[in-house]
C-alpha cells in the first residue's frame, strides 16, 4: 500500500457563497483527525472600474478590494474552529483569478486536501464548476474535495462510495480512505464498473446489433471482478482493525453512469475517486470522468492523488 495518507493540512477556499460554507460544514463527515492545521483562503477577483492615480489610491483600493474577502475568510474560519476545536486555523486573502490563486497558494503551502464548494447540479452551477473548481481539481497536486450540503439524519450511518479498478490509482484512494477517522457505523462500498458494452452497428434494415465479441465482454467482466476483489483484500489485510462496514460490487456499464446511479439510489454521502498523474490532452480526456461525476453527483466528491513526494520519486525513477 502507498505511504501515509493522513490529512494534516487542509486548504479551504471560500467565496462567501452558501455552497462554500456548506462544504466547510460537510468536513465533519470527511473523517479528518482531531488535530491538524487549516488555512481559509478567500480571493478578491474584482477589478476597479477606474484605475488608481496615486500610491495612496492604490493602497486604499487594494484594502477596500480585500475587505469583503477578509470577512468571508473570517466567517469560514470561525465555522472551522467550532467544528474542529483542536485544529490550528488561520485566514488568508489574496487578489487575482480565483483558480490561479488557489493553485498558487497550494503549491506554496502543500496541503493534503483542498476543499471547495459546489454551486449545484444546475446548468449555471456546472458552468461555475467548469470555471474554477474543475481547473483546481484537474491541476492541483493535492486531493480535492468538492463539498455539498448533506441532508441526512444524524442517526443514519455515513455512506462512502469508492470507485476502484485495476490501476495504481485505486491503491492510492484506498490508502487515503483507510487513513480517515470515520465513525464505526460508516458503510464503505467499493464499486468497479466493467466498461461500456453497448457498441452497436446498423444492419441493412436499420436495426442495431451488438458488435463486441462475447469473449471480450467476458474478459472485461473477469478483469473488473479481479480488481474489486484485490482492492478489498488489500484493504482488509493492511487495516485489520478498521471498524467500518466494507462491501464491494461489480457492475456492467460506464464508470460515470454506474457511480452516479449508485450514489443516487443508495444513497451515498460522498464519492471517493483515484486519479492518475496527467498532463496536457490526457488530463483533459481522463479528467472528464471526474468532472462529470463532480458536476452531476448528488453528494460530495473527493478526488485523491498520489502524495507529492511519491509522485516526484516516481518521476525521478
How many residues make up the chain in this entry? 317
- What percent of the chain has a predicted confidence (pLDDT) above 70? 73
Task: Say if residue 168's pLDDT is above 80.
Answer: no
Pairing mode, if any, of strands 300-304 and 143-147? antiparallel
Query: Tens digits of per-residue pLDDT, 265-299?
Result: 999 999 999 876 554 444 444 456 777 888 889 99
pTM for the complete prediction?
Answer: 0.82
Instruction: Report the C-alpha gap between 198 and 195 in whole angstroms.
Output: 9
- Within a domain: 183: yes
| Cell 462491501 belongs to residue | 247
- What percent of the chain has a predicted confidence (pLDDT) above 90? 33
Average pLDDT of the segment spanning 191-209: 57
Task: Say if residue 67's pLDDT is above 80.
Answer: yes
- Within a domain: 279: yes
Beta strand spans in 179-269 (E): 187-193, 200-202, 208-210, 245-251
- Within a domain: 2: no
Q: CB atoms < 10 A from the CB of 3, how many? A: 13
Cell output for 133 = 473548481
Partners of 145 in the beta sheet?
Answer: 115, 302
Task: Say if residue 35's pLDDT is above 90.
Answer: yes
For residue 127, the domain's CATH number is 3.40.50.12370
- Within a domain: 38: yes
315 phi and psi angles, rounded to 5 deg: -65, -40
Domains held by the chain: number: 1
Task: Say if residue 234's pLDDT is above 80.
Answer: no
Most confident among 130-144, 190-204, 267-281 (mean pLDDT):
130-144
Q: Show the domain range for 28.
A: 9-316
Instruction: Report the C-alpha gap between 203 and 86 in whole angstroms.
Output: 67
- Within a domain: 128: yes
Query: Tens digits of per-residue pLDDT, 73-121?
Result: 999 999 999 999 999 999 999 988 889 999 999 999 999 999 998 765 4
Partners of 304 in the beta sheet?
Answer: 274
- Within a domain: 73: yes
Average pLDDT of the segment spanning 146-164: 85
- Within a domain: 256: yes
Amino acid at each position: 500500500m502507498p505511504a501515509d495518507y493522513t490529512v494534516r493540512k487542509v486548504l479551504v477556499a471560500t467565496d462567501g457563497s452558501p455552497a462554500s460554507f456548506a462544504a466547510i460544514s460537510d468536513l465533519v463527515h470527511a473523517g479528518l483527525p482531531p488535530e491538524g492545521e487549516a488555512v481559509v483562503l478567500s480571493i478578491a477577483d474584482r477589478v476597479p472600474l477606474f484605475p488608481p492615480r496615486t500610491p495612496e489610491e492604490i493602497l486604499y483600493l487594494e484594502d477596500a478590494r480585500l475587505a469583503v474577502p477578509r470577512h468571508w475568510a473570517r466567517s469560514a474560519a470561525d465555522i472551522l474552529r467550532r467544528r474542529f476545536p483542536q485544529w490550528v486555523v488561520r485566514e488568508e486573502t489574496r487578489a487575482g483569478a480565483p483558480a490561479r490563486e488557489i493553485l498558487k497558494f497550494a503549491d506554496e503551502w502543500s496541503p493534503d486536501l483542498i476543499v471547495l464548494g459546489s454551486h449545484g447540479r444546475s446548468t449555471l452551477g456546472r458552468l461555475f464548476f467548469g470555471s474554477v473548481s474543475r481547473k483546481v481539481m484537474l491541476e492541483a497536486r493535492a486531493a480535492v474535495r468538492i463539498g455539498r450540503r448533506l441532508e441526512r439524519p444524524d442517526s443514519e450511518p455515513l455512506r462512502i462510495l469508492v470507485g476502484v479498478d485495476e490501476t495504481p490509482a485505486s491503491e492510492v484512494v484506498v490508502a487515503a480512505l483507510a487513513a480517515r477517522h470515520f465513525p464505526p457505523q460508516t458503510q464503505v462500498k467499493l464499486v468497479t464498473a466493467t466498461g461500456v458494452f453497448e457498441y452497436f452497428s446498423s444492419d441493412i434494415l436499420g436495426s442495431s446489433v451488438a458488435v463486441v465479441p462475447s469473449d471480450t465482454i467476458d474478459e472485461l467482466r473477469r478483469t473488473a471482478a479481479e480488481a474489486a476483489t484485490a482492492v478489498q483484500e488489500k484493504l482488509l489485510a493492511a487495516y485489520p482493525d478498521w471498524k467500518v462496514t466494507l462491501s464491494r460490487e461489480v457492475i456492467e456499464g460506464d464508470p460515470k453512469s454506474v457511480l452516479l446511479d449508485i450514489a443516487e439510489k443508495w444513497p451515498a454521502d460522498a464519492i471517493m475517486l483515484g486519479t492518475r498523474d496527467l498532463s496536457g490532452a490526457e488530463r483533459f480526456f481522463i479528467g472528464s470522468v471526474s468532472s462529470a461525476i463532480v458536476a452531476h453527483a448528488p453528494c460530495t466528491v473527493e478526488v485523491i492523488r498520489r502524495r507529492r513526494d511519491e509522485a516526484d520519486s516516481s518521476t525521478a525513477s
